[in-house]
Structure 1
């Protein structure tokens, strides 16, 4: 189950990026579960990772490789991704297993192991079957091509019901560049990354420092603004690659009109991918935008937004299409905002006012609220009446199917 119609977009291949897939039998026989992404020599790579203290072995190794300052040892050439096993909470044995697969790619391609970044997604607490993955790497190498974005998106799926991709072509002063990405994620989704993997690439030439700034900014405007169930995973990663093979001008400064155009293009792809994750949330039937304005600062806007989005009572009301707006008000009230004046708080569903002056809006009718809640997608708009800050997050409902999926995940 997912919200909206599945719509795989037109994909613009990225010069300097090739993707290959293979079946290793990590969890299921006869299903592709390994992706190898090759990036051109000289590409810049940046990323953001989970903030869970139990970060998985591949996350630890990928972060270590990206932190190397010696560029002769830091040039990233491959991403190796597997589904079906998270290789998380597996100790030194998990580190050794991930390194084995990195070494296999290195041996097959002639790069150093540090040039291979590993990524895993699946069940936590089970050791990565390194031998199976290593055996499948030649098949993945043989299938490398620039057009394999859809196959790669399908291969990294776990409880996802649909592949997730986004791609745009941008023209600036007669010069063209592209931004294309894929992601996976459906459950264990919460800000500060989640059980999601994302891979976005552009053919622009972007300096290392600027790319890292763009990576962090785009993640904060997208993947760090979604929540399905409030759980932060052990394996989250979102990588941004710049191959530099476009004829468009290089980006070396984090300011100016050109920087803003590039930044907005990258954010557009990130937000599309992150919103596709929410729409495909485990058992999701609703896609809800929570807008909070009028805060003293952004943090308290987010505090209120997540209080509403994480409330089991709000989420089950969404699933039931029940405009029980009192649950929304209660979640705002217990969000922990100091000295919140309830008489200044305003709440609406789309453009239907439900709360003003500390009570039910005089214009509100149950029929109007029901009409909004019957929609697959709508917004909850909250104004705190305290300042000028504002934030937006995206969330889903909590359905019977969510419980079923997660109760039966390992069976």
Structure 2
């Protein structure tokens, strides 16, 4: 896990780094709403690109097209729609390629310099006409202030837009990393079901850019679960323009790489927390911190097991300090854990209470424990007592509204 040093947030989201503009417009794919549903990110210069994708065997057509375009070299733009996942359609790749071609023509760049992503209902044919009609206005409205509209345009059941950006100094130069994400339901590790687009002006070797993204995604988005469902269209895409003019980052063991990776972690960690907190129907962000693990695998597996437990998530919704459900999730995690050394503490801004010590219940005031579970952010601290490794995972409570949202999702 990356050694974490916090950084202050700066405005701008995906447009925070110099040289990037964005926009979002309503083209009509989301017929029940007049909210933006088509987004575009554009770089004034060619960018090195890195990406990670869903591990679901069923993948959206945009993933195949984006992979092919990244394999051809630099990327200048990303076009994204919501309201339709363009997945499991016989003409899916053709439509995804058409989206890239339409954007490229209006931007006067090559089609293979455009990446594409879609999110929404699976198995419905994507109409290309609304997208074709809207792209000229989408391009015309590109601006440094466009991150807000772009981040709104990629939302589906999200209730809030998700943006974050930071700055660090590398080699005496200011380097910016910013991004936007969407995700609320179908969220589960490997990867969290989501779209995320990141931009930076850092000068960094492309293989190292990919290494950093894969490493940090593993510690952030892959540690998020809302409902245990891994989606078909998950994509995290990172564009690097090199406009910062720092000395190129070439060595994974260098201080410059560690500074860059930490900044990327801060952005993705905060976007991960936003996704978990905005889980469909959720009222609480749950953060499970596991330490005292014998190895990284054990720490990560136990943390994810706890925040994925449906019974535990329901208990948190009911403000029930049912620590037995936590210990149960620790016990069925695919890891070698000794229950006799496990301690569990629940905490929030209302206080903290130790509910389990050495695998056994402790004497605590249930009313006081219930008060700890009232705030909208709860930390579950699990100590395994068997090593020095730790991990953090994020989830949310399970509520009545989650069922309502997903019972009516298609309609």
Deviation track 1:307-355 (CA, whole Å, cap 9, x = no partner) reads 22122211111001111112112222222444x4322111111342211
Cα shift at 1:403 = 0.9
Q: Is the 8 A contact 1:9 1:165 kept in 2?
A: no
Q: Is the 8 A contact 1:199 1:238 kept in 2?
A: yes
Q: 2:246 aligns with which of 245, 248, 254?
A: 248
Contact 1:21 1:139 in 2 (8 A): no
Corresponding residue number in structure 2 for 1:44: 48
Give structure 1 stretches of 5+ with no counterpart.
Answer: 1-7
The answer for the alignment partner of 2:28 in structure 1 is 25
Counterparts of 1:378 and 1:32, CA distance in 2:
33
**Whole-angstrom distance in 2 between the partners of 1:74 and 1:336:** 40
1:3-402 alignment runs, 5 A limit: 10-11=11-12, 13-28=16-31, 30-66=34-70, 68=71, 73-91=72-90, 93-172=91-170, 174-338=172-336, 340-350=337-347, 351-362=352-363, 364-402=364-402
Call closer, same or farther: CA 1:369–1:170 in 2, change over 3 Å.
Answer: same
How far has the Cα of 1:147 moved from its partner?
Answer: 1.6
3-state SS, counterpart of residue 64 of structure 1: helix
- Which has the higher mean CA deviation after the structures are superposed, 292-301 or 56-65? 292-301
Q: How many residues align?
A: 396
Query: How far apart are residue 22 of structure 1 and its match?
Result: 2.5
Cα distance, 1:48 vs. partner?
0.8
For the Cα contact (< 8 Å) 2:327–2:359, is it kept in 1?
A: no
Tell me, in whole angstroms, the C-alpha distance in 2 between the residues paired with 1:307 and 1:295. 14
- Quote the Cα distance in structure 2 between the aligned partners of 1:268 and 1:196: 18
**CA pair 306-248 structure 1, distance change in 2 beyond 3 A:** same
Contact 2:10-2:167 at 8 Å conserved across structures = no
* Matches of 1:115 and 1:42, distance apart in 2: 8
CA RMSD across the alignment: 1.8
- In the alignment, the residues of structure 2 paired with residue 48 and residue 186 of structure 1 have an alpha-carbon distance, to the nearest angstrom, of 19
For residues 74 and 42 of structure 1, what CA distance do their matches in structure 2 show?
9
Residues in 1 aligned to 2:102 and 2:171: alpha-carbon distance in whole angstroms: 44
> Alpha-carbon deviation of 1:407?
1.0
Whole-angstrom distance in 1 between the partners of 2:10 and 2:149: 13
Q: How far apart in 1 are the matches of 2:305 and 2:23? A: 41
Query: Aligned-pair distance for 1:9?
Result: 6.2
Shift of the 63–172 alpha-carbon distance from structure 1 to 2, 3 Å rule, reads closer
1:352-378 CA distance string (max 9 Å, x none): 22112331124x332332222122212
What is the match of residue 407 of structure 2?
A: 407
Q: Is contact 1:26–1:132 with CA below 8 Å preserved after alignment?
A: yes
Runs of 4+ aligned residues of structure 1 deviating over 6 Å after TM superposition are: none
Structure 2 residues not aligned, in runs of 5+: 1-8
1:278 Cα shift? 0.9
- 1:194–1:235 contact (8 Å) kept in structure 2: no
SS at match of 1:43: strand
* Farther-moved stretch of structure 1 (257-266 vs 12-21): 12-21
